[in-house]
């Protein structure tokens, strides 16, 4: 992988223990020893193309985000959408615009915070063949990513912006949050512009909606960009109103 600074080697099951789900203790120990990947570290705004050399891309299954935050912007027919990606997501940023051959499209990837990505090379893939459970867990990440995109599409059908925004924030809490005594902290620091793209709105409207949700005691905004959610996850009624009475039992956020 010439031209790319490899920062370290990592045991995949140490960096991402959930990949070992379905293995008994003995098989997990063996998999831990054999599944070792190269890791690249990227700085904010550093191009994702720096992660791998062009000549290596065809042989890779992808890049597994170990920690950090990445945004994928897709501009198509003059309009843009955004996808938020974090730890556990499997990405192939070099697989570009060919999927939209009949439409003018451009995909842009942005590293938001210092991020580490494991390179799923041919050597790692050969190791995965010995541990089908790990391979299935890795591929299931693609389905999880598709489910998140489907959630965003569903949110687009909710009429009221406050309802869309609050539902998105609880989803981010499930992905990235942690439980504290005052509520569930969403540590992902996203600009109002990025939040606006995620909920199909304009930035000034999102700023206003965040203020109204704070006035209602549903969240607290912190000066460093974090948000604390209070109470239970909302139910989004058919007309798009927000109710603080949850319709389901929420699982603890890790």
**What is the model's pLDDT at position 128?**
95
The pLDDT of residue 236: 52
Least confidently predicted of 52-56, 185-189, 246-250: 246-250
The pLDDT, as a whole number, for residue 2 is 42
Between 245 and 231, the higher pLDDT residue: 231
Mean pLDDT of the chain: 85
**pLDDT tens-digit profile of 203-234?**
999 999 999 999 999 999 988 888 999 988 88
- Does the pLDDT of residue 106 top 70, yes or no? yes
Partners of 38 in beta bridges:
9, 119
Confidence category of residue 26, pLDDT binned at 50, 70, 90: very high
Confidence of residue 24 (pLDDT cuts 50, 70, 90): very high
Q: Is the pLDDT of residue 30 over 80?
A: yes
| Band of pLDDT at residue 97, cut at 50, 70 and 90 | low
């Amino acid at each position: 992988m010439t031209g790319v600074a490899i920062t370290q080697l990592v045991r995949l099951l140490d960096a991402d223990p959930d990949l070992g789900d379905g293995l008994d203790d003995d098989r997990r120990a063996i998999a831990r020893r054999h599944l070792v990947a190269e890791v690249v570290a990227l700085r904010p705004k550093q191009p994702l193309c720096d992660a791998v050399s062009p000549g290596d891309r065809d042989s890779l299954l992808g890049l597994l985000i170990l920690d950090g935050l990445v945004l994928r912007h897709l501009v198509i027919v003059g309009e843009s959408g955004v996808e938020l990606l974090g730890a556990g997501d499997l990405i192939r940023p070099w697989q570009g615009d060919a999927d939209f051959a009949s439409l003018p499209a451009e995909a842009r990837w942005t590293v938001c915070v210092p991020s580490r990505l494991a390179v799923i090379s041919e050597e790692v893939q050969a190791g995965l063949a010995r541990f089908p459970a790990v391979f299935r867990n890795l591929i299931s990440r693609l389905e999880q990513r598709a489910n998140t995109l489907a959630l965003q599409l569903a949110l687009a059908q909710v009429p009221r912006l406050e309802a869309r925004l609050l539902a998105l924030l609880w989803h981010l809490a499930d992905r990235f949050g942690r439980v504290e005594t005052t509520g569930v902290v969403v540590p992902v620091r996203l600009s109002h512009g990025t939040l606006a793209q995620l909920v199909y709105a304009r930035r000034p409207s999102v700023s206003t909606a965040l203020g109204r949700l704070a006035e209602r005691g549903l969240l607290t905004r912190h000066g460093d960009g974090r948000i604390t959610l209070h109470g239970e996850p909302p139910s989004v009624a058919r007309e798009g109103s927000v109710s603080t009475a949850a319709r389901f039992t929420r699982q603890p956020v890790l």
